[in-house]
Chain A
Amino acid sequence: MKSLQERVAALRPSLPAALGRSALPFLIAIGLAYLIDAAIGPAIGATWRKILLDVGIAILLAGSLNIVNGYAGQFSLGHAGFMLVGGYTAAWLTFYGGIHWFGVKGTYGGFLGAGQLLFLGSCVLGGLVAAGFGALVGLPSLRLRGDYLAIVTLGFGEILNRLVQITDRQPKRVEDVQGRSLFELANNLGGAESFSQIPGYTTLFFVYVFAFVLLVFAYRLKYSSRGRGLLAVRENEIAAEAMGVDTTRAKVVAFVFSAFWGGVGGALYAHQISTLSPGELSFQKSIDIVLIVVIGGMGSITGVVLGAAILVILPELAREFADYRMIVYALALVVVMILRPQGIMGVRELWDTSPWRRLVQRLRGGQP
């Protein structure tokens, strides 16, 4: 039988086809995000616009956590920690950087103007710093599993939280900021109070560009050798290693990748609510994200999108019962765990389900 690499040359796609398959999903993602921002956003009113923003950010956070918890089966309870790192890093850059370079607090420039480009850069920087911390948390994951790993990641999130709380106060007047360099100001994150007046750059466009790009990445990962390696780690680590999957590397890569997107999600979150306080990005937030993944289906991309939509929209619809939100959450979790312990979608995707297949078949005009 011919070996794999002997076959590869004959199966190389033509360059235009390859380019299309590589780039087209990204173009569609950007187009869709623009459509949501320009057409849907103005039409639905402020309340639903905010809900749509929340859903997008939840997709980013849960979608990225899904790589670690779902694909690789490493139960992490520290995702809010990555959010926190990304959020504070990005807020530091846009708030202080905005004052330094543009001389204003608040947003600056128009669509894709200097201010928004700074914001884009801050999201990426937030993601990168979070990814660095992801490597740090990934390392103990090599020796720990199950409950023990969960405890370590939980502790990691809390440590970051305390570290932010011992930073200095945030100078809020333009002239106080202008006299000092950005690096000096890195310790002025507001401490236990909050980091406020973060410019409100987050729009539906940015949230959904990042969310869709992550979904494209998650899809490509799931249906590739690298992603199957992660799934194999979850299914049976000893067999995965015996089949040539470098499980150590796979787990660290999963943590770093997931942390990057968690950081980006934190950056978008920070520029949406414009006031970051450490208390908000603590253990409870991590649990919220884990819930989306567990209820949606560990390892399922469409499941996570569904879970994010349900867990964000349901509490909004039941505003009157806001006081009972946590009780309803807990009850919903108990019910789902009894009825569908694998989550709504399990590891499957929407396109694996029989109603979807029937629909596709009908659309193609075939027999159902």
Chain B
Amino acid sequence: MTAAGTSDAGQTAGTSDAGQIALDAQRLSLAFGGLKAVSDFSLALPAGGLYGLIGPNGAGKTTVFNLLTGVYRPDTGHVELGGERIDGKKPSHIARAGMARTFQNIRLFGELSVIDNIRTAAGVRTRSGLFRTLLRTPLHLAEERAITERSLELLEVLKIAHRREEQAKSLPYGDQRRLEIARALATEPRVLLLDEPVAGMNTQEKREMRGLIQSLRGQFGVAILLIEHDMGLVMEICEHITVIDHGVTIARGAPKAIQDDPAVIEAYLGVPDDAADPVPAPDAAPRTEAPEAAGPSSDGPGEA
């Protein structure tokens, strides 16, 4: 369980290697039985970039996250994180390599305190194993102090420091989402995957979260890939957007181009001449069952 990486494994891109590709996914495909959940998905996320991934309900967005983070193993294609091949590796290995995520259906360590949720994640960057822990060697003591120090700073940044001793499950919804982000940052990632960070939030909370997400890039030097249904948010803050539908990439490019893309409009609103199906809201796109709902996804963190 010791962090395999050297101390620079968690070092983030920021200015030093700006322009480099932090996360490179090439032609990922995954099928559950006969159902193609994701086909031919490619994405090159530059260091420090903020990219969006959108699509109607059940399009396979979360499945893409699960492929990138190792929950599912892609049938074909490969993923590189900071130059290291990570496809086929275990999620814990990928986390150590520098990728962290949040979950759409929040997955905190409910019984643990807020700060212990963060400390747990920070543990990935420690080097002391069981014996150093049991004997409390100087290295172990120093690492535990460093964990506490850094965790407190993360709580300050995410504005949940006043709740640090509360049980995670007792937090209000918005704070739970913040804690998920804080926990992900505690692993010192170079790439952060956010799965619907503003889902279920009111306008005020959304505004705060938007500011937060934008500030993370500068403060932590992470590249961010964002899944979000809130089109206003995505169009406003993302530099580049990939749209998928039924697991197939139907458009990619700058937000403005995406908004006018006929394929995207069709995916969200239906075929124009299909008069019987006038659904206005993207969230209620008239698509059938989610691909994730099929096959072995029940034990994976699929879309709810």
A interface with B by C-beta (< 8 Å): 1-9, 11-13, 15, 18, 21-22, 217, 220-221, 223-229, 231-232, 235-236, 238-250, 253, 257, 347
A238 engages B107 (CB within 8 Å): yes
Question: With the chains together, A21 CA to B220 CA distance in Å?
Answer: 34
User: Do A22 and B144 have beta carbons less than 8 Å apart?
Assistant: no
> For A247, what are the chain B residues with a Cβ–Cβ distance below 8 Å?
92
Smallest CB separation, A261 vs chain B (Å):
12
Residue B181 lies at the interface, judged by CB distance under 8 Å to chain A: no
Query: Whole-angstrom distance between the alpha carbons of A220 and B140 in the complex?
Result: 11
Q: Are B123 and A15 in contact (CB under 8 A)?
A: no
Interface pair A220/B136, CB less than 8 Å apart? yes
Min CB distance A116 to B, Å, is 24
Given contacts A220-B136, A228-B116, A243-B183, contact A1 B95 (CB under 8 A): no
Contact yes or no, A7 B150, CB < 8 A: yes
> How long is the Cα–Cα vector from A248 to B100 in the complex, in angstroms?
19
User: At the interface with chain A, which of B126-134, B238-246, B276-284?
Assistant: B126-134
B29 adjacent to chain A (CB < 8 Å): no
The residue of chain B having its C-beta at the shortest distance from the C-beta of A254 within the complex is B130
- Chain A residues with CB below 8 A from B146, complex form: 4-5, 7-8, 11
Apart from the given pairs A6-B7, A243-B120, A244-B3, 8 other A-B contacts in the complex at a CB distance below 8 Å: A4-B126, A15-B138, A221-B134, A231-B109, A231-B116, A235-B112, A236-B108, A253-B1
Please report whether the interface of chain B is mostly helix, strand, loop or mixed according to DSSP. helix
What is the interface of chain B, defined by CB distance below 8 A to chain A?
Answer: 1, 3, 7, 10-11, 69, 71, 90-93, 95-96, 100-101, 103, 107-112, 116, 119-130, 133-147, 149-150, 153-154, 157, 183-184, 186-188, 219-220, 300-301
Quick check: B90 and A241 within 8 Å, CB to CB? yes
Query: Inside 8 A of B96's CB, which chain A residues have their CB?
Result: 244
CB-defined contacts of B157 to chain A, threshold 8 Å: 1
Q: How far is the CA of A268 from the CA of B273 in the complex (A)?
A: 82
In the assembled complex, the CB of A108 is this many whole angstroms from the nearest CB of chain B, namely 32
**Are B1 and A11 neighbours in the complex by a CB distance under 8 Å?**
no
B92 contacts A245, C-beta separation under 8 Å = yes
A11 touches B149 (CB 8 A): yes
Contact between B92 and A241, CB atoms less than 8 A apart: yes
Contacts of B135 in A (CB 8 A): 22
A257→B91 CA distance, assembly (Å): 24
B149 cross-chain contacts in A, Cβ below 8 A: 7, 11
A239 partner residues in chain B, CB cutoff 8 A: 103, 107-109
Q: Is the CB of B95 within 8 A of A236?
A: no
Q: How far is the CA of A15 from the CA of B139 in the complex (A)?
A: 11
| CB proximity of A171 to chain B, nearest CB, Å | 40
Please indicate the chain A residues that have their CB under 8 angstroms from the CB of B142 in the complex.
8-9, 11-13
**Shortest Cβ distance from B189 into chain A, in angstroms?**
10
Query: Which residues of A have CB within 8 Å of B112?
Result: 228, 231-232, 235
